[in-house]
Structure 1
Amino acid sequence: MPRTATARPPVKRAQPSQPEPRITHGERVVDASTGITKMDMVRYYALVAPLMLEHLKSRPVAVVRAPDGIEGQLFFQKHEDSDRMAGVLQLDPALDEGHDPLMEIASAQGLRSYAQMNVIEYHTWNALKDRIERPDRMTFDLDPGDGVSWQEVQEGTLLVRVLLQELGLPAFLKTSGGKGLHVVVPLKRLRDWDTVRAFSKAIVEHLARTIPERFVAKSGPRNRVGKIFVDYLRNGRGATTVCAWSARARPGMGVSVPVAWDELDGLTSSAHWTVQTIAPRLAAGNTPWDGYAQSAATLTAAMKTLDFA
């Protein structure tokens, strides 16, 4: 009998890896108050990359660049307008028509590429690129006005959590690395941007009506003197919130870090961890947010409870 030829699977050829971005002027001081340099920031993002990439994956990202250090002019960039960089993906232009492509950090190389471009901060959308018109989270940014103590911020954050619990919504906490705290509600991707933003506004207005001595629903420094503005505007299409593990372009270089609710009392400020002090926290990593994805909720019952039409 003639022998039957056996089909062989095609040989997979190794793809050439992109070279590591070259870092220039690594000695340049980024933050005069600490002496942190550009090379320090390269090393910082290399250190936190395994944790941070979990929060960056599949999300459009905006970045804050500080070419002359954080005391100089800062540039907020939402679209990729330069040549492709290692580890940075240009997303489908149809996701944001009329603009240059949105960006995604796809690997640790991307963080290094942007460090070379003097990027300090990373901010992400509340949606993933594969279903960008359906947000997968709702974010509340507690922004204290002048005269608000840190203890009042902590108490206000607990009050936000209590309301969300009464609405049957899960809530996860992180420092912002700046002045306030972020409370994040994971969502099933069922509602559009306008609905999520409108409902988050209704929640904040309810807080301001119920506890007017503590909360305000209007933005602007004059409106929040002695009070906390719970920023719901982060929930609009194209709005962004600082990513977990991102440094902040502020003196001291605070870091946004996921925390468990039982850690809230022990925080000394929203910049409890900084670029220089983050190392001991890395062992905890993202574990304070264990169960985040599985907790994704629908808004139907919460809307009925709040009598949201």
Structure 2
Amino acid sequence: MIDPSTGFTKMDMVRYYAKVGPLMLQHLKARPVALVRAPGGVPGELFFQKHQEAEALPGMRSLDPALDEGHAPLLEVVSPQGLRSGSQMNVIEYHTWNALKDRMERPDRLTFDLDPGEGVAWADVREGTRLLRVLLQGLGLPAFLKTSGGKGLHVVVPLKRLRDWDTVKDFSRAIVLHLAETIPQRFVAKSGPRNRVGRIFVDYLRNGRGATTVSAWSARARPGMGVSVPVGWEELDALTSAAHWNVRNIDARLGVGNGPWQAYEEAAVSLTPAMKALGFRPG
């Protein structure tokens, strides 16, 4: 039993990843992955695994140790068998880096995680997501949307691989600071539950080297087992929660698949014009 609240079992987990695997592998391809393992199911203790602990599981590949010196090799999921192997080892969640393995020091995306504090209504989360998109559009940055499967929403900006980690993270922080200074009644730039009561923390820390974000189509290790799903901006108003889709109702979404992100790769941009527009100077 993985999730007593839904009756979801380990075999159900295998079947779930068999269904979503073809869609999910498009988001996992060539990216280092971190695994969230739940040997005791959702109610038990969770383990976050970023490096190979023993031999790589079938369908997973050990990456060059030089990519993360001083640690065991990072992992990549390379086939549907890797998802089956993960389920056998009690993996529920898959998180990915903001870079591809062939150019690890040049991030290929910005990720913003809208994390609502206590007392923030879901309608306010949707509104906050729209406001972030307006700011990004004003900076000339394309924005793609997905549910987190947890509490908030994720906004992702595809990048040309031109800048280093520090520059990308510092610029994402500048964006969030600007948002919090402009609309302080809605946003806060400091993490921590006390800081975001009644407001949304837009988490830019996901943009640092080694940080990860849950992959599209990953289930979440929470009661109800929500799923992170790519969505179109025109669908935002219809979303009822960050866990609008879960492991039990996901079949209705498989036909749409990755369609809302169809133009993602072609949309990648340089950060230079946006930096100039915001008055940001790389350190």
TM-score relative to the length of structure 2? 0.99
- Aligned residue in 1 for 2:228: 256
- Aligned residue in 1 for 2:73: 101
Distance 2:115 2:243 in 1: 14
- Aligned residue in 1 for 2:165: 193
Distance 2:49 2:42 in 1: 15
Distance 1:84 1:242 in 2: 21
- Aligned residue in 1 for 2:252: 280
- Aligned residue in 2 for 1:238: 210
* SS of aligned partner of 1:94: helix
- RMSD across aligned C-alpha pairs, in angstroms? 0.4
- Aligned residue in 2 for 1:269: 241
* SS of aligned partner of 1:223: coil
Distance 2:145 2:54 in 1: 35
Residue type of the alignment partner of 1:241: T
Distance 2:272 2:181 in 1: 22
Distance 2:268 2:215 in 1: 19
Identity of aligned residues (%): 75
Pick the structure with greater CA Rg: 1
4+ runs of 1 displaced by more than 6 Å?
none
The equivalences for 1:134-283 within 5 A come to: 134-283=106-255
Deviation at 1:33, TM superposition (A): 0.4
Deviation at 1:152, TM superposition (A): 0.1
Which residue, 33, 36, 41 being the options, matches 1:61? 33
Deviation at 1:81, TM superposition (A): 1.2
Distance 1:172 1:140 in 2: 10
Residue type of the alignment partner of 1:136: D
Is residue 2:261 matched to residue 1:302?
Answer: no
Segments of structure 2 that go 5 or more residues without pairing to the other structure are none
Deviation at 1:82, TM superposition (A): 1.2
* SS of aligned partner of 1:36: coil
Residue-pair matches, total: 281
